[in-house]
Structure 1
Amino acid sequence: MTILTIGFACYDQFYFTTSFPKENSKLFAYDFIESGGGPCANAAYLLGLWGEDVYHLGHLHDDIYGNKIVSEFEQVGVKTQQIIFSDEMITPLAAITVNKENGSRTIITRKLNTPPLLTCIEKNKLNQFIQYLNENKRDLVILIDGHEPELSEYVIKKIPNAKVVMDAGSLRESNVYLARYTDYLVASENFALAYAKIDEFTSKKSLEEALKKLESISKGSAFITLGEKGCAYLCNKKVKIIPSLLCQSVDTTGAGDIFHGAFSYGVSYGWEIEKIISFASLSAAIAIERKGVRKAMPNLSEVNKALHRFEKNLTEYFK
């Protein structure tokens, strides 16, 4: 199986504090971690860690942080030949404060709102890569996060048989536009509420309304991740919620990225949707009991062992 991740890659710096910082104040960080990050980039790293055939596509600048991002990818086997280094690009940076009291995180990001347009030379290189994929790779999954709209559409339209998963984290015009190509539109609660113009999900009826609206812009199925409440989708036109697994939250940063990476993993192996969601939920739950994102990612054997431990509770999903 081959998975392409097309989207945002940045360099993260984590500051772990005992409380949320107040404006115009100084705060001591009792721990610090730095690594590559970004929705699709973290998913790619996870899939590389799990030994999958994964390529990451996106824009970076040829600077110290851009090269650190590429180096980390290559350490776990993520193929980086299709990353576009552009002088017009700024390598995104993120400062992340993690509150020890509840594991919540606050993120400040420096990035371009829109990546540079593809050049003719870059399109020609992409065409060669796409031709190689079409001739040599039978089963393809594409994971997008909406941060690279032109690049995502260009590749998807030239690989029509690929299964497309979208990590719709926040409501952006690019995500709504790209949704038309998705087989699995996996939206955050914030995205779903904003798009459906609902204040909060108070019942299955409100979830049903939002899911129907999301499915109307997708060519496939829609899903809403609800954090600790689980993941909702429509099954035979009725709302079904696969519950999350209980865990002790230490750092929630990247939980959604890991969920989407694991979700794409399940799609690539043709699993039933209940199993895909439960597997993705468990992968994320293991990670948020640890600090950071990359260092917190579970290896595949950990997830499989955890699945075995939870087998009695998850029998209906893992038959």
Structure 2
Amino acid sequence: MQGILTIGEILVEIMRKEKDVPFNFPGEFIGPYPSGAPAIFADAAAKLGFPSAIIGAVGNDEFGMLVLNRLKNDGVDVNHIKILKNYLTGIAFISYFSDGSRKFIFHLKHSASSRLSAKDIDENYVAQFKHLHIMGSALSTSRSIRQACYKAVEIAYNRGASISIDPNIRPELMSIQKIREICKPVIDKANIILPNIEELKILTGIKDMDSACSKVLKEGAEIVAVKMGAQGSTIYWKNEKKHIPAFKVREVDPTGAGDTYDAAFIVGLLKGWSIEKTGYYANAAGALAVTKFGPMEGCPTHSEILELIKREWPEILNMFKA
């Protein structure tokens, strides 16, 4: 087995050009940009030089071709992305605010992505992969895509592949309680959980991060990597804990940073790196992701990550020469 597989929504994003302009006021937008959390993840892994693939669907339209071409050009295996004639590619509109918050309007429920189903999951294809990554946003898109993800998880689990999940909670798509319910079947079989700090609280019902991660590990996960934005990340495994500080960069657009972090983290683990080395690598990848406008535009290459590490923390660069 080799490579990383993900499944889920493929869409474009159209964003407010300026901050603090709510959707109920006229204003300028820019885009479309290739997006969809699983698509960003797959693209980020491929740009890091690791074999990656995505199972999904787009419409037979220019938005779909935009994302499909980007993924293909960056080295993602797109052979299992369906092009549907009777459905349109999904769209997300985003508005940014000065306090760091974002508002989303999703057009996904009747999009091409929502039509993906369990029958689109080829057992022999899924069995080729060393790792399967699932996003909570994919589970929230539609019941049929949720069943597709569950089927892939069963195949990967039974074949001994490692599994990760990013809860990627989107209240705009589904209630918090429902998201907890639909994530549980994947979390129960996942080796690696990749929440942000708020998602960790939501999933466990525990405010204290140490206690929440202890609960997740006791329930079967091997690693919990908590993304903390400007505070970096904290990684829990066995009876150990490691905080990795954030890299200092100029933030342009935070969308996609968590997905890029996920990809770099999984790539590091699959390369057999230590938790500490993997954590620094993932933090650097996530930091670089926010330096460009557009959710997929900032996905870095391996050399760009090393350049950031060299500039910010040259004392740890030797860690990456081995």
Q: Which range, TM-score by smaller chain?
A: 0.7 to 0.9
Letter in 1 for 2:162: K
Shift of 1:74: 1.1
| Distance (whole Å) between structure 2 residues aligned to residue 74 and residue 290 of structure 1 | 21
Q: How does 1:27-176 map to 2 (within 5 A)?
A: 27-28=27-28, 32-85=30-83, 91-99=89-97, 101=98, 104-112=101-109, 115-116=114-115, 118=117, 120=119, 122-123=120-121, 126-130=122-126, 133=128, 140-146=130-136, 147=138, 148-159=145-156, 160-170=159-169, 172=179, 173-176=181-184
Structure 1 residues 275 and 54, CA gap change in structure 2 (3 angstroms): same
- RMSD, aligned α-carbons: 2.8
**1:184 CA drift (Å):** 0.7
Are 1:246 and 2:242 counterparts? no
What is the CA–CA distance in structure 2 between the aligned matches of 1:297 and 1:229, rounded to whole Å?
20
Query: 1:237-276: per-residue Cα shift (whole Å, max 9, x none)?
Result: 3543222222222211111111111112112211111111
1:69-94 per-position Cα deviation (integer Å, ceiling 9, x unaligned): 22221121211111244578653211
Cα distance between partner residues in 1 of 2:166 and 2:264 = 12
1:203 aligned partner: none
Alignment partners' CA distance in 1, 2:218 and 2:290: 33
CA contact (8 A) 1:176 1:217 kept: no
What CA deviation, in whole Å up to 9, does each residue of 1:9-60 have, x standing for no partner?
Answer: 211112220x31246433345xx23221111110111222233321111233
Deviation track 1:148-207 (CA, whole Å, cap 9, x = no partner) reads: 432223223223221212112215122222111211111122211112224x5xxxxx11
3-state SS in 1 of match to 2:92: strand
1:222 Cα offset (Å) = 1.9
> 1:112 & 1:23 partners in 2: Cα distance?
20
Cα 1:272/1:119, change in 2 over 3 Å: closer
Answer whether contact 2:118 2:147 (CA < 8 A) is retained: no
Q: Distance in 1 between matches of 2:211 and 2:82?
A: 40
Residue from 233, 236, 239 that aligns with 2:235? 233
AA matched with 1:10: L
Q: Please state whether the residue corresponding to 2:114 is helix, strand or coil.
A: coil
Is contact 1:104-1:252 (8 Å) kept? no
1:184 counterpart letter in structure 2: I
8 Å contact kept, 1:89–1:112: no
Of the structure 1 ranges 37-46 and 298-307, higher mean CA displacement relative to structure 2 is found in 298-307
SS in 1 for 2:188: helix
Aligned length: 300
- 2:202: which partner in 1? 194
Q: CA deviation at 1:231?
A: 1.7
Call closer, same or farther: CA 1:91–1:216 in 2, change over 3 Å.
farther
SS at match of 2:17: strand
Instruction: Find the residue that maps to 2:34 and give its secondary structure.
Output: strand
Gaps of 5+ in 2: 139-144, 170-175
2:217–2:238 CA contact under 8 A, matched in 1: no
* Unmatched segments (≥5 aa) in structure 1: 201-205
Give the TM-score, by structure 2 length: 0.81
Match of 1:244, SS state, is coil
TM-score, normalised to structure 1, is 0.82
* Counterparts of 2:235 and 2:317, CA distance in 1: 19
Distance in 2 (alpha carbons) for counterparts of 1:129 and 1:42:
21
